[in-house]
Copies of this chain bind each other. A is one copy, B any other.
Amino acid sequence: MFGNDVKVVDCTIRDGGLINKWKFSEDMVRKVFLALDAAGVDYMELGYRASEKLFPPKEFGPWRFTKDETVRNIVGDTKSEMKLGVMVDIDRVEEDDLKPASESPLHFIRVATYLKDINKAIQLANHINEKGYESFINIMAISTVNSFDLEEGLRKIENETKVTAVNVVDSNGSLYPRDIENLVSLYRKELKTKKTGFHAHNNLQLGFANSIQALHSGSKFCDATVNGIGRGAGNCPLELLIACLKNPKYHLEPVLRVIQDIFVDLQKNIEWGYIIPYMITGVLNEHPRVAIALRESDRKDCYADFYRQLTSPECYENR
């Protein structure tokens, strides 16, 4: 059993958008928003905020930019206690892209960063706080960093920011519950005044299990997506997370209903979930991009050759 102080962060549209360039209709996102609100979800990440100077708007759907006016369309006149936010990437957002929080329908902004860019992430997080938003830092690809560098980075965040939480992000989907226990414990040790969160990927069918482990190890924020939607193998399914938390504030039925109404058909058109090429990149602690490329080719089900190729001496040399 978990305490009722755990916060559920839905990133269905933001992470799901990585599959289809964020080309979800406003109608669809409005339905997801209403379902999450009825389910009692605490935080909803609606997309990325990015500069239109850097991403040609014609190539991407609205949730690559997630403008304030688009968010207002989604909320309409619905009264909701759910906090709304976006993710920003280092170097892909400009100062002008963020109005003061008092003028925005957004409550929080999460900074996604690699550990090597932690100083830029700290700068951006502080800018976000100055504008009046709640801030988070997500350290991506955590399975590829060494713990000495990580400790140093966490200490900098602890000392130099006002973020609410720092999230462990298993970008490659290659971590086991014991790894999560170790990582969350290290975060807890270094972050005296900040909370810890967790963002899973499901390459090894461990997205939900690792999320449970993160909570057992002291994480207070946990990411999830409806039906586990997300790039590649997808994420921790929101329906499983809500069911296991057993907090009376959460309701499973609205999530089940939005899955049957929207996600069953959606999955016929865009692909996510436990599929062997993503399992292979997870096992090898590789970014899923090579598996995504395989799935888009005419050799999409040639699993054995794909594995042989990734484990060949030539491939190792090219790393």
Contacts and interface: CB of A to CB of B under 8 A. Distances in A.
Interface size range of chain A in the complex: 35 or more
Contacts of A303: 256-257, 259-260
Interface of A: 176-178, 202, 204-210, 212-213, 216, 227-228, 237, 239-240, 243-244, 252-254, 256-257, 259-260, 264, 273-274, 276, 279-280, 283, 301-304, 307-308
Contact of A209 (B206, B252, B259): B206
Given A177-B212, A283-B243, A276 B256 contact: yes
Given A176-B212, A244-B176, A304 B257 contact: yes
Given A256-B280, A260-B301, 17 more contacts: A176-B212, A177-B209, A202-B205, A204-B208, A204-B243, A205-B208, A205-B240, A209-B209, A243-B279, A243-B283, A252-B283, A256-B303, A257-B303, A259-B303, A260-B276, A264-B301, A274-B274
A274 to B, nearest CB: 7
Nearest to A258: B304
Contacts of A216: 178
A223 to B, nearest CB: 15
A259 B273 CA distance: 16
Nearest to A213: B177
Contacts of A301: 260, 264
